[in-house]
Structure 1
Amino acid sequence: MVSLESAERLDAVDPLRSFRARFVGSDDPDVVAYLDGNSLGRPLRASAERLARFAPEAWGSRLIRGWDEEWFDLPLTVGDRIARAALGAASGQVVIGDSTTVLLYKLIRAAVDARPGRTDIVVDTDNFPTDRYLVEGIAAERGLSLVWIESDIHSGVTAEQLAAVVGPNTALVLLSNVAYRSGYLADVPELTRITHDAGALALWDVCHSVGSVPMQLDEWQVDIAIGCTYKYLNGGPGSPAFVYVRREVQPVLRQPIQGWIGHADSFAMGPGFTPAEGMRGFLSGTPSIVGMQAMRDMVELVDEVGMDAIRTKSESLTGLAIDIVDGWSAELGVTLATPRDPQRRGSHVTIEHPHFREITARLWKRGVIPDFRAPQGMRLGLSPLSTSHIELWRGLEAVRDELERLAA
């Protein structure tokens, strides 16, 4: 079994260990182990201070002048920072917009309309529920067909599976970079190439990867990517999502929710809608300025540390989690639902047991906070900059303790 001393040694040589102190709650005695950073990241202390200043200073003092001074362009400037720090993308291709759901709706609609005469949307059966629900609705709305890839809930979509279903009728392929249940890390460049060879557009959901897995969206020729900002980008509950649209694709996509701020001349307020060029054209209504504040500090921190270093820490944490679980007695009945190959997993590990739903509820009362995903998965979301190896070890010790009580 992996000992506490092993976790302590890993923390001692971790070059990112000092960054943990920058997060609110990292020294909270009531939280033994926060293992749900892939659902909601901890706030940075700098973000707490920024939010406290925002109301009296930026809002209270500058008032409506804030729009001219910064706010009108903030979705684009913060988008460019995310592009540089976390997406491997040049400027002018990312904007902060609506919720993930609304952005997915707008870009799925825009993508299928950009491939007239093609009738199929390809999606996998274990993609995130919102993604699946959206394409079902859009297919019905537009008279299109869904082509389902039967993906393994313990892994994800393979190149062979995708190549078998795409063809001249495929308009769009919608996949996730990291599978929300298993943590499987998809081969984005290869799957994107297969999609393009069929003449279709590739839309990637990067919610469970951005900020924890390095990406090279420009190099991979990804057409569209959409991600949330409240997981590994620590933007806070319900913080707005972002959309990346490759520069070459922007002119052929027209999103369907036409609002004032996406107009070529937002303040003209005239008749008819003329979409703005570039990424502003993918905006609809007034952007959430308050909602963009907290993520600004985390994006700066990601840029400071670098995605390669973050990924190295992520692999260390997920590797430790797997080693700890491997050391448990087989009689506890726990199985691993995440790939063992670090090149094929993101920054969360999923373990399975028939009683994890009730065990998760008991753990929360003990200050150990993973999350549960049906049918029997416990996800350990390991945010590299705020999670320590010791914290992970203590959390999994509590999981083992609950399992042993169950077996007694």
Structure 2
Amino acid sequence: MTTSLDDARRLDEKDPLAPFRDRFITPADDGLIAYLDGNSLGRPPKATQERLNSLLTQEWGTRLIRSWSEGWMELPERIGDALGEAALGAAPGQVVVADSTSVCLYKLLRGALALRPGRTEIISDRHNFPTDSYLVQGIADELGMTVRWIDSDPDAGVTAEELAAELNANTAVVTLSHVAYRSAWIADMAALTALTHEHGALTVWDLCHSVGSIPVQLDTAGVDFAVGCTYKYLNAGPGAPAFAYVRTAHQESFRQPIWGWMGAAAPFAMEHAYRPAPGVRRALSGTPPITAMIGVEESVTLTAEAGIDRIRAKGMALTEMVTELAQDWLVPHGVRIASPRDPDRRGSHVTLARADAAELSQRLIEAGVIIDFRPPDGIRVGLSPLTTGFAETWRAMDVIRGLTATGGT
């Protein structure tokens, strides 16, 4: 039986995470039926607004430059440790918050490649997010390396069989996304990492669509390096800094290519020669963006309080409802569910595909249902568990039903 609006309301009433929705800034009446794009940009937490006000009036406004020695210098590692505990399955001293996703990924890829001298190949997914693909191409061009592309199923993701077919003695690094940005396919991180290690290569994982939405176990899976953004499910704000994970076993030999004073052993000694800091701090380069990092800290606190397992359970329930409604309402009108049907293999978004998806996406936004379009034919329905309810999602799907039934007119 198809979920009814009353069923969705009852799910909201029983939802243990429902109170968290009131802890985010939501306009009283902005014409929205549903915001289903939290997988691209999360809503702002009220605590972040309060903390930013405090930063302006107290830490920056009153203590001024003294705040650097009163806690600001330690923020990249302190927030990193908190994030590692709350959502990444990473023991302290392995996660640091710094730079954009692209810059962090560049550092990790170059650092990982340097640990495998003499090897000449990088493996990645042809359907990975463009930044990842561009960086891989650019680094390969810089270093004269070869890229072996896995042609994964766009409605799914990379499998162990596909990776095994590309691995060889020349493989230096394998870089993949834990959750595919198009389909929401969850890769078997532990299995793919173990397979990579059997060939003597290293892994660099992109966690942008998994961090804050599904549990990640970096230490247990044996991951070497990982990177992820904080402005999606972590709700840290537009352009908020990314994080880098460097496994303890690699830290003393890890050398990233952007040598900056914040990653030096003694920043204020003003030494001429670069000496990398001990531990994961050597992944830093320039001055931490304190105003942006405040958003990361507050959002990590919210995630820890909610609990990543409860977040995952709600995300699965929301995506199950969407796929059920899509099957009953949308598939008869030519829509393809371009995400895994197995909830254990699906992250917290569902992609609906149809040839006129670009036009439909615009009409949905105009109708008050905020989603996003991903070429060539995908409408992503993002279901951020801390800020998205069942009833609003049901109403949004009803709007999608109406527009798909009329061909978007």
Short-chain TM bin: over 0.9
Task: Indicate whether 1:243 and 2:244 are aligned.
Answer: yes
Structure 1: how far apart are the matches of 2:137 and 2:157?
A: 20
Structure 2: how far apart are the matches of 1:106 and 1:316?
A: 37
Instruction: List per-residue Cα deviations over 1:270-306 (Å, max 9, x = no partner).
Output: 2111111111101001111111111212211111121
1:330 is displaced (CA, Å) by 4.3
Structure 1: how far apart are the matches of 2:291 and 2:382?
A: 26
1:80 is displaced (CA, Å) by 0.5
Task: Indicate whether 1:9 and 2:10 are aligned.
Answer: yes
1:26 is displaced (CA, Å) by 6.7
Q: How does 1:378-393 map to 2 (within 5 A)?
A: 378-393=379-394
Moved more, 353-362 or 368-377: 353-362
Aligned partner of 1:46 in structure 2 is 47
Structure 2: how far apart are the matches of 1:391 and 1:356?
A: 21
The residue identity in structure 1 corresponding to 2:273 is G
Identity of aligned residues (%): 53
Aligned partner of 2:136 in structure 1 is 135
Aligned partner of 2:81 in structure 1 is 80
Structure 2: how far apart are the matches of 1:366 and 1:9?
A: 25
1:27 is displaced (CA, Å) by 4.6
1:366 is displaced (CA, Å) by 2.2
Structure 1: how far apart are the matches of 2:336 and 2:128?
A: 21
Moved more, 45-54 or 205-214: 45-54
Aligned partner of 1:125 in structure 2 is 126
Aligned partner of 2:145 in structure 1 is 144
Instruction: List per-residue Cα deviations over 1:208-231 (Å, max 9, x = no partner).
Output: 000001011111110001000000
C-alpha RMSD of matched pairs (Å): 1.2
Task: Indicate whether 1:332 and 2:333 are aligned.
Answer: yes
What SS does structure 2 have at the residue aligned with 1:72? Answer: coil
Structure 2: how far apart are the matches of 1:353 and 1:56?
A: 51
**Contact (CA 8 Å) 2:359, 2:408: kept in 1 or not?**
no
- Alignment TM-score, normalising by the size of structure 2: 0.98
What SS does structure 2 have at the residue aligned with 1:251? Answer: coil
1:404 is displaced (CA, Å) by 2.3
1:266 is displaced (CA, Å) by 0.3
Aligned partner of 2:285 in structure 1 is 284
Aligned partner of 1:377 in structure 2 is 378
Aligned residue-pair number: 408
What SS does structure 1 have at the residue aligned with 2:112? Answer: helix
**Is the alpha carbon distance of 1:31 and 1:314 closer, same or farther for their aligned partners in structure 2, counting shifts above 3 Å?**
same
Q: How does 1:228-239 map to 2 (within 5 A)?
A: 228-239=229-240
Moved more, 281-290 or 398-407: 398-407
Aligned partner of 1:96 in structure 2 is 97
The residue identity in structure 1 corresponding to 2:235 is N
**Contact (CA 8 Å) 1:20, 1:26: kept in 2 or not?**
no
Structure 1: how far apart are the matches of 2:364 and 2:198?
A: 48
1:15 is displaced (CA, Å) by 1.4
Aligned partner of 1:210 in structure 2 is 211
Aligned partner of 2:38 in structure 1 is 37
Structure 2: how far apart are the matches of 1:308 and 1:9?
A: 21
Task: Indicate whether 1:321 and 2:326 are aligned.
Answer: no
Please list every run of 5 or more consecutive structure 2 residues that lacks an aligned counterpart in the other structure.
Answer: none
**Contact (CA 8 Å) 1:2, 1:327: kept in 2 or not?**
no
1:2 is displaced (CA, Å) by 3.0
Moved more, 53-62 or 306-315: 53-62
Moved more, 74-83 or 329-338: 329-338
The residue identity in structure 2 corresponding to 1:209 is S
1:331 is displaced (CA, Å) by 4.1
1:406 is displaced (CA, Å) by 2.0
**Contact (CA 8 Å) 2:223, 2:247: kept in 1 or not?**
yes
**Contact (CA 8 Å) 1:332, 1:407: kept in 2 or not?**
no
- Alignment TM-score, normalising by the size of structure 1: 0.98
What SS does structure 1 have at the residue aligned with 2:64? Answer: coil
1:354 is displaced (CA, Å) by 1.3
Task: Indicate whether 1:366 and 2:358 are aligned.
Answer: no
Structure 2: how far apart are the matches of 1:213 and 1:144?
A: 34
**Contact (CA 8 Å) 1:26, 1:386: kept in 2 or not?**
no
**Contact (CA 8 Å) 1:264, 1:276: kept in 2 or not?**
yes
What SS does structure 1 have at the residue aligned with 2:267? Answer: coil
1:365 is displaced (CA, Å) by 2.0
Structure 2: how far apart are the matches of 1:139 and 1:107?
A: 14
**Is the alpha carbon distance of 1:407 and 1:84 closer, same or farther for their aligned partners in structure 2, counting shifts above 3 Å?**
closer
**Is the alpha carbon distance of 1:189 and 1:330 closer, same or farther for their aligned partners in structure 2, counting shifts above 3 Å?**
closer
1:313 is displaced (CA, Å) by 0.3
Structure 1: how far apart are the matches of 2:183 and 2:26?
A: 27
Structure 2: how far apart are the matches of 1:332 and 1:396?
A: 13
**Is the alpha carbon distance of 1:84 and 1:26 closer, same or farther for their aligned partners in structure 2, counting shifts above 3 Å?**
farther
**Contact (CA 8 Å) 1:257, 1:284: kept in 2 or not?**
yes
**Contact (CA 8 Å) 1:20, 1:385: kept in 2 or not?**
yes
